Amino acid sequence: MFDRVLIANRGEIAVRVARACRELGITPVAVYSEPDRLSPHVLEAGEAVHIGPAAASESYLDMDGLIDAALEAGADAIHPGYGFLAENGEFARRVEEAGLTFVGPSGDAIDAMGNKTAARARMEEAGVPVIPGSESAAEDEEAARAAAEEVGFPVMLKAAAGGGGKGMRIVRDPGELGSAFRSATSEAEQAFGDGRVYVERFLDRPRHIEIQILADDHGNTVHLGERECSIQRRHQKLVEEAPSAVIDEATREEMGQVAVRAARAVDYRNAGTVEFLYQDGEYFFLEMNTRIQVEHPVTELVTGVDLVREQLRVAAGGEIGFEPDPEWPRGHSIECRISGEDPFNGFLPSTGRIRSLQEPSGPGVRWDGGISEGFEVGLDYDPLLAKLVVHDRSREAAIERMRRALEELEISGLSTTQPFHLGVMDEPDFRAGRLSIGYVDEHPELLEDELSAGETERAARVAAALLEEEGGGDGAVDEAGDGARSRRSTGGGRSAWRRAFDPR
C-alpha cells in the first residue's frame, strides 16, 4: 500500500480523498493555489504544497508542477479526483513516466473513452447497445443526410471529439439538416479543434442512468448498480440518487453486466462509470467516464463500499476488497449538490465570504464539504461547495430526510442551490419518480423565487416585530395538502426571520 499520496485537486473531493487515505494509513499530501491557502482541504491535510496562483492553468492544471510537487513530497502516487486533469491521458502517462502511480485507469483507456466515435465503435464490438446511428463521423453534408435518412428523423448531430453537449444539434426536419450540420461542424471545430460530426437517432425524453464499475489487476471487474442522474441543467448534474425509481432487479443486473463488458473491452482499471440513456425499457451506451464521479456517495451509501478507498487499494495492486452483494442496493440514497450559484437568477455563479455555516447531520445524513465559515468563494473554480447526501430505507423516507437536512443547512454570505433542492423535494413529479433529462426545463416553477419584493418587505417588517417578542412554535405549512410542506416553511423551531416567510 502507498505511504504518501498527493491529491491533485481541491474542495470537497480533496477532503474526501484525504479521509480515505487516512483510513488506509496513507499520509495525504494536499496541494493548493494562492486563494486556497486557508481552504479546509489544506487545513485538514497533514502536509500541503503551494502550487501556484489562482489560475487553474498555473496550479491545478499544471501537470509538471503537480508531478514535481509529488516527487518533492516523496509521494508514491497521485490521486486526480474529478475535473481538472482526472481524465487527461497525457497526465496519467506523465505521472507513470515519473515513477509515480496514477490512481485511475491507464492513459490509453482514458484516451479511448475520450474519443466519442471511437468509444462507440469499441462498445458496439463488445456487444454494448449503442444509439442507432452512423458508424463513424459523416464526411460531409450528403453523408450526414444519408445516415439521417437511414436512422429516421428526428436525429441528433454530435461532435466526434467531445461530450458535454458542445457541437450537438437536434434535427427534426430533413430541410434543417444542412444548416444544422454546418453549425455543428463549426462549433465542434471551435470547441475541440476537430469538426467531425456523427448522426444518431434522437431520444426525446430519456433518463440518464449510469452504472458504477470497479476493476483491479487480478481479473476482477464488478459493477455496483446504477445511479439516476436525470436532474441536470446544461449538462451539470444537480440531484442524483441510487437506485433509480424505474430500474428493476433484472434490468440492473443486465445493465451492470453490459457495463462490465464495456470495461473489459478497454482493459479498464480502477473506478469508472458507464453512462446510458434509458427510455421505454431500452438503454443505450452514452459515454464512459474514467474517474471517480461527484455523485459516488449515493452508491457508497446503498452498498457500504468506500469507492475512494477501493481506488487506492486497486491502484496499489490490491484486489477489490469486497464481494458484490445480491442484497444491493440497500435502501435509497439521494445527493443534492450545494453550489455557489443563484437558482433564481439563471444559476449564475454567486461569490462571497461564507458568513455562517451550519452543516446538517443526524441519522442518515452525510455532508461532503470543502468549505468553512470565513472561506472566500470566488470565480476561479467550479462553484460546487459541498454535497448533501442522505440515506434511508425507502425513496419516500430518503426524500423527507433530505428535506429535513436541507432545512437544517444554514449557509449565508452568498446564494446557493439550497432553495432549488427544497423545491425539488416537494415537487410531485420528483416525488413520484417521474424524471427525464428534461426535468429542469419542464419545471420552471423551481427557478422562480416565490417571494415578490412586496412580500419580502412585508416579511421583513413581520420578522422585526417577531424578533421583539418571545416566540416559538412550528412553521410547518401543508399548503398543497399532499404532505409536501411549503418550501417557505422551514419546520418547527426555526428563527423568527424564517417564520416570517411563512405564507399563512
Q: Considering the complex, what minimum distance in angstroms separates the CB of residue 172 from ligand MV4?
A: 12
Q: Considering the complex, what minimum distance in angstroms separates the CB of residue 185 from ligand MV4?
A: 17
> And the C-alpha cell for 470?
418571545
**HSE-CB of 305 using CA atoms within 13 angstroms:** 25
Q: Identify whether 291 is a catalytic site residue.
A: yes
**How far out from the chain centre does Cα 494 lie?**
31
Q: Considering the complex, what minimum distance in angstroms separates the CB of residue 131 from ligand MV4?
A: 4
State the catalytic residue, choosing from 94, 196, 233, 291: 291
Which residues in the 397-436 window bind ligand MV4 by CB under 6 A?
none
Closest CB to ligand MV4 among 373 and 429? Answer: 429
For residue 55, the one-letter residue type is A
Q: With CB under 6 A as the contact rule, which of the stretches 117-125, 195-203, 311-319, 467-475 interacts with ligand MV4?
A: 195-203
Q: Which of 2, 32, 202, 430 binds ligand MV4 (CB under 6 A)?
A: 202
- Binding-site string for ligand MV4 from residue 455 to residue 494, where x marks contact by CB under 6 A and - marks none: ----------------------------------------
Decide if 21 contacts 313 (C-beta within 8 A).
Answer: no
When asked if residue 188 is in the footprint of ligand MV4 (CB under 6 A), the reply is: no
Closest CB to ligand MV4 among 202 and 328? Answer: 202
When asked if residue 232 is in the footprint of ligand MV4 (CB under 6 A), the reply is: yes
When asked if residue 205 is in the footprint of ligand MV4 (CB under 6 A), the reply is: no
Report the sign of the C-alpha dihedral through residues 457, 458, 461, 464, in that order.
negative
Strands 77-79 and 101-102 turn out to be parallel
- Measured between alpha carbons, how far is residue 344 from residues 108, 224, 317, 351, 444 in Å? 42, 36, 48, 15, 10
Closest CB to ligand MV4 among 204 and 457? Answer: 204
Angstrom distance (rounded) from CA 303 to CA 271: 15
Q: Which of 16, 79, 196, 208 binds ligand MV4 (CB under 6 A)?
A: 208
Phi, psi for residue 58 in degrees, rounded to 5: -105, 10
Q: Considering the complex, what minimum distance in angstroms separates the CB of residue 273 from ligand MV4?
A: 12
Angstrom distance (rounded) from CA 426 to CA 411: 21
For residue 154, whether the previous peptide bond is cis, meaning omega lies within 30 degrees of 0, is yes
Q: Which of 92, 203, 308, 314 binds ligand MV4 (CB under 6 A)?
A: 203
- Number of helices (H), then strands (E), belonging to the chain: the values are 17, 22
Angstrom distance (rounded) from CA 374 to CA 354: 5
Q: Which of 263, 437, 446, 459 binds ligand MV4 (CB under 6 A)?
A: 437
When asked if residue 172 is in the footprint of ligand MV4 (CB under 6 A), the reply is: no
Beta-carbon contacts of 157 under 8 Å, excluding residues fewer than 6 positions away, are: 144, 167, 168, 169, 171, 180, 181, 184, 197, 198, 199
Which residues in the 123-152 window bind ligand MV4 by CB under 6 A?
131
Phi, psi for residue 394 in degrees, rounded to 5: -140, 165
Q: Which of 76, 111, 200, 216 binds ligand MV4 (CB under 6 A)?
A: 200
Q: Considering the complex, what minimum distance in angstroms separates the CB of residue 117 from ligand MV4?
A: 13
Q: Which of 164, 304, 362, 433 binds ligand MV4 (CB under 6 A)?
A: 164
Closest CB to ligand MV4 among 49 and 229? Answer: 229
DSSP state at residue 45: S
Closest CB to ligand MV4 among 157 and 314? Answer: 157
Beta-carbon contacts of 44 under 8 Å, excluding residues fewer than 6 positions away, are: 15, 18
Closest CB to ligand MV4 among 196 and 269? Answer: 196
When asked if residue 165 is in the footprint of ligand MV4 (CB under 6 A), the reply is: yes
Decide if 338 contacts 390 (C-beta within 8 A).
Answer: no
Angstrom distance (rounded) from CA 192 to CA 183: 14
Binding residues vs ligand MV4 (CB under 6 A): 131, 156, 163-165, 200-203, 206, 208, 232, 235, 277, 286-287, 437
Residues with active-site annotation: 291
